[in-house]
Amino acid sequence: MVVEMGRDGGEAAADGGAMDGAGREVGGGDAAAEKAVVGEKDDAAGGGDEWAEGEEVVVVEEEARKEEVKGGWSEIRVAIEELSAAVEHRGGELPLPPPPPTLPFLALSHLLVQVLDKIGPTMAVLRLDVQRNIERLQDLYLLNPSKYSTLEEILEKEVEDNTAKKVDSCARAVLWLSRSMDFTIALLQRLEEDSDQKCFGQLVESAYMVTLKPWHGWISSAAYKIAMKLIPDRKMFISLLVGKCQDYAALKEEIRKLAKLLQPFLDDIHAMMAKFRLDRLKST
């Protein structure tokens, strides 16, 4: 379903590479987050722009986020807190003024991919490609957090180096990660708005058709069809989404809050990709 959000060639689906890296994926999210925290602490003092100067604050918030998740917060609620903190850090403006900052984008990628994990067991394999995109973008950011504090600075570098359209570029990583967020928020909104209690498969299909399907080739589409056979039912998915001491009504309210915060952020990213003529790239 989300295999080609990770890499634009469909290699994982075609040659089984994702299975070979399964061991790496198991600990990828936590290890990657820890790596980001270390890098942010090292570079916070010497950063020259607004986001670099405030990285110490974001690091503390990232550590607090981990504790909050352990304490029973849902990923959706933590994502809301991440976006709210970013808005507050940029002077309380909503939406965030472009260019989109890198650090919140990475944090949201970790959180929203965790939501995708709940869709079904096949996501544990398909998610490996998404995790690789996070790591690729994160590795470049950590080389120089001040220089790469915004996604636009990363894209500018790759466009200048004529590498932006390569399969393993950070530009493609940003593109597919943002598309994965498009799919996630589209699915959550359908879940929140559906009064007819449609089966969960119908909601997934509807979200997929308007977000990922236009960019998927036959390999990716085939992977999606396989994943669809193993998704949980609606009731199970909702139970996986809700946090401790939370009910469905509270979850629906959180989905509405997240959509309000996330959509402008995604709109800025898509506008940025269009500016560099990278928004129409497809997978196989």
Quote the pLDDT of residue 97: 56
Per-residue confidence band for 30, with pLDDT thresholds at 50, 70 and 90: very low
Pick 73 or 63 by higher pLDDT: 73
Who contacts 124 (Cβ-Cβ below 8 Å, separation ≥6)? 22, 25, 117
User: What's the alpha-carbon Rg for the chain, to the nearest Å?
Assistant: 18
State pTM to two decimals: 0.74
Quote the pLDDT of residue 124: 58
Per-residue pLDDT at 171 exceeds 60: yes
Per-residue pLDDT at 206 exceeds 50: yes
Q: Where along the chain do its domains lie?
A: 3-275
What integer is the mean pLDDT of 182-205? 90
Residue with tokens 């799919």: 183
Who contacts 15 (Cβ-Cβ below 8 Å, separation ≥6)? none
Per-residue confidence band for 17, with pLDDT thresholds at 50, 70 and 90: very low
How is residue 278 written in tokens? Answer: 């990278």
Per-residue confidence band for 71, with pLDDT thresholds at 50, 70 and 90: low
What integer is the mean pLDDT of 90-104? 69
pLDDT in tens, 208-242: 999 989 998 888 888 888 878 878 889 888 888 88
Quick check: helix, strand or coil at residue 150?
A: strand
Quote the pLDDT of residue 262: 92
Among 48-52, 86-90, 139-143, 221-225, the range scoring the smallest mean pLDDT is: 48-52
Helices (H), 90-217: 102-117, 123-143, 151-161, 170-193, 200-211
What integer is the mean pLDDT of 195-215? 90
Whether the CB-CB separation of 233 and 111 falls below 8 Å is answered with no
Average pLDDT, the chain: 75
> Within 13 Å of residue 78, how many CA atoms lie on the same side as its CB?
29
Quote the pLDDT of residue 111: 86
Quote the pLDDT of residue 14: 36
Whether the CB-CB separation of 232 and 187 falls below 8 Å is answered with no
Assigned architecture for domain 3-275 = Orthogonal Bundle (1.10)
The winner for highest mean pLDDT among 15-29, 50-64, 118-132 is: 118-132
Per-residue pLDDT at 185 exceeds 80: yes
Pick 256 or 131 by higher pLDDT: 256
The winner for highest mean pLDDT among 23-32, 78-87, 251-260 is: 251-260
